[in-house]
Amino acid sequence: MATALHLCGVKTPYLSCSKRASCFQPIRGQRNLHYLVSPLSVSGSCTSPNGSHGQLALRVSCVAGKVGVLEKHDSEHQVSEQIATDLTCVMKFGGSSVASADRMREVAELILSFPEERPVIVLSAMGKTTNKLLLAGEKAVTCGVSNVSDLEELTFIKDLHLCTVDELGVERSVIEKHLFELEQLLNGIAMMKEMTLRTKDYLVSFGECMSTRVFAAYLNKIGVKARQYDAFEIGFITTDDFTNADILEATYLAVAKRLRGDWISDPAIPIVTGFLGKGWKSCAVTTLGRGGSDLTATTIGKALGLREIQVWKDVDGVLTCDPNIYPKAEPVPYLTFDEAAELAYFGAQVLHPQSMRPAREGGIPVRVKNSYNPKAPGTLITGTRDMSEAVLTSIVLKRNVTMLDIVSTRMLGQFGFLAKVFSIFEDLGISVDVVATSEVSISLTLDPSKLWSRELIQQASELDHVVEELEKIAVVNLLQNRSIISLIGNVQRSSLILEKAFHVLRTSGVNVQMISQGASKVNISFIVNDSEAEECVRALHSAFFESDLTELVSGRKSGNGSV
């Protein structure tokens, strides 16, 4: 579907589109110009023939035929028709950003400090609520119905939410029904003496359902019109993989229709629950995996074709490594979607592993910002960036990984061997992270997030089963307590990165057990023992980020022999 976009006062401009030139098609010249704009987000610039009129930079967001946002035009040129009141960006605030009444007040101020924005707000559960809910559920399985009301986690959650509404001066009624139902649910778990994955998702959903209700009520109280939404009620359709569901394509249209429809008929800032969805078969509440509110935000950004997706955290952006491992980690100013996705997939907690996909597909920049330090520039994630000076961007650690060394007994040819190995993993629904092969052997690591979502006992028997199947065609060595260290950066400089990294590892006395260069060309991963991993990350960080690499980048070695 295409939409007419009308511009006037622009003298026969040439329109160039940074991405999809075909998105803009002039349908009438002269002073009043009409363009056809295809759905979803496009951006471009429009200049006069000799360039003397400067640039009319415009950004259009267009979903289902509705022109969304036009912005940033110079004074000479006027945009005659625009729906200037449309939603402009999405701002996601994580648990740490809305952990208390004070934090909620600060977040409200922060949102209001951008008067030019008309944001969709996505919130996570307050502070550590999700962890507390999970723990309460686990305890309820064994504690007996009569002890549920005394569970310290339940008391904590009640106190936190009731104190917050009291401090913010909003009615307790906004969450009382949820607190009552939460206790009922825990009673049910206690009675059944079991908690299925489906129940687990319903249980944790109370966190986001309450934080958004409290925040929306507070905004309304201070005179900012806001409307609360449960994601599972507005079209977030997912697979039925409880605790780790995937967003289905139908979500984009449904969410855009609902949020934009409501906004047009009665504008109010949408406050949407992060992390949650609705299983397409079961119609039950699902969750998108831990940290899934980032994915909610990017999904909304793509659905509405918004100008920017902001994810507000408690750190100054994506850092050069996990600050819990090395406090001297520095913010990374720019990242590509590929780098950010790889970083998230290989364990950087700061972003949800799937969250870059919608942003990349919609071509929408993602900004990672610090709600505790809004002035810090944060990290801007876009499709491309200048890599000419880039060597290493970030170091990521994924702990507690299982590694398998599989050596062929040569019962099958090489092709048959590899195919058989991977079909065994496919049949068992286990995904593989890092792979290295030779003619007769293959070393690989198993994605722990897929195993983590299962019960420990199930994990153990699954691993036994994998080994049993593989032993029909190979000699198998199962190695546990390993870590993947991933070097995310410019793999065009892989020789330099490897030279320096291996020098560091050798001087630290660490033996690398496997190495793999990702097909994405932004990642070199290697496997070491869990016990050595953190020290390795610190040593690598010092070598790459605290010493001058410019001479090495320009091809000259420094005189002192250090790399």
- Beta-strand pair 237-238/379-382: unpaired
Residue 275: name its binding partner from ligand ADP, ligand PHD, none (Cβ under 5 to 8 Å by kind): ligand PHD
The span from the CA of 473 to the CA of 409, in Å, is 6
Q: What angle do CA 254, 258, 263 make, to 5 degrees?
A: 150
The span from the CA of 284 to the CA of 232, in Å, is 9
Burial of 268 (0-12, 13-18, 19+ CB in 10 A): middle
Assign 337 to helix, strand or coil. Answer: helix
Residue 394: name its binding partner from ligand PHD, ligand ADP, none (Cβ under 5 to 8 Å by kind): ligand ADP
Interface with ligand ADP (CB under 6 A), residue total: 19
Cβ-based nearer residue to ligand PHD, 240 or 314: 314
CB 10 within 8 A of CB 77: yes
Residue 461: name its binding partner from ligand ADP, ligand PHD, none (Cβ under 5 to 8 Å by kind): none
Q: What angle do CA 280, 281, 284 make, to 5 degrees?
A: 75
**What is the closest distance, in whole angstroms, from the C-beta atom of residue 372 to ligand ADP in the complex?**
10
CB 325 within 8 A of CB 397: yes
Of 335, 434, 444, nearest in space to 393 by CA: 335
- Residue 211 found at the interface with ligand PHD (CB under 6 A): no
Report the site for ligand PHD in 65-124 (rule: CB under 6 A).
94-95, 124
- Residue 350 found at the interface with ligand ADP (CB under 6 A): yes
**What is the closest distance, in whole angstroms, from the C-beta atom of residue 292 to ligand PHD in the complex?**
5
- Residue 238 found at the interface with ligand ADP (CB under 6 A): no
**What is the closest distance, in whole angstroms, from the C-beta atom of residue 115 to ligand ADP in the complex?**
24
- Residue 349 found at the interface with ligand ADP (CB under 6 A): yes
- Residue 327 found at the interface with ligand ADP (CB under 6 A): no
The packing angle between helices 197-221 and 173-192, to 10°, is 170
What are the phi and psi torsion angles at 484 (to 5°)? -100, 125
**What is the closest distance, in whole angstroms, from the C-beta atom of residue 309 to ligand PHD in the complex?**
14
String of contacts with ligand PHD for each residue 256-285, x by CB under 6 A: ------------------xx----------
Residue 97: name its binding partner from ligand PHD, ligand ADP, none (Cβ under 5 to 8 Å by kind): ligand ADP
The span from the CA of 43 to the CA of 34, in Å, is 16
Residue 274: name its binding partner from ligand PHD, ligand ADP, none (Cβ under 5 to 8 Å by kind): ligand PHD
- Residue 290 found at the interface with ligand PHD (CB under 6 A): yes
Query: Sign of the CA dihedral 27, 32, 38, 41?
Result: positive
The span from the CA of 211 to the CA of 223, in Å, is 19
User: In this chain, which stretch among 9-17, 204-212, 247-255, 343-351 interacts with ligand ADP, using CB under 6 A?
Assistant: 343-351
With CB atoms as reference, the residue minimizing the distance to ligand ADP is 94
Of 107, 3, 118, nearest in space to 65 by CA: 3
Which residue of 291, 347, 489, 518 would you call a contact of ligand PHD, by CB under 6 A? 291
Cβ-based nearer residue to ligand PHD, 202 or 544: 202
- Residue 68 found at the interface with ligand ADP (CB under 6 A): no
Residue 314: name its binding partner from ligand PHD, ligand ADP, none (Cβ under 5 to 8 Å by kind): ligand ADP
The span from the CA of 444 to the CA of 403, in Å, is 6
Residue 137: name its binding partner from ligand PHD, ligand ADP, none (Cβ under 5 to 8 Å by kind): none
Which residue of 322, 338, 462, 469 would you call a contact of ligand ADP, by CB under 6 A? 322
| DSSP per-residue string spanning 350-408 | TS-TTTHHHHHHHT--EEEEETT-TTS--EEEES----TT-SEEEEEEEEEEEEEEEEE
Give the burial string for 373-393 (b: 16+ CB within 10 Å, else e): eeeeebbbbbeebebeebbbb
Residue 322: name its binding partner from ligand ADP, ligand PHD, none (Cβ under 5 to 8 Å by kind): ligand ADP
The footprint of ligand ADP (CB under 6 A) covers 94-97, 124, 291, 313-315, 318-319, 321-324, 348-350, 394
Residues at the contact surface with ligand PHD, assessed by CB under 6 A: 94-95, 124-125, 130, 207, 274-275, 290-293
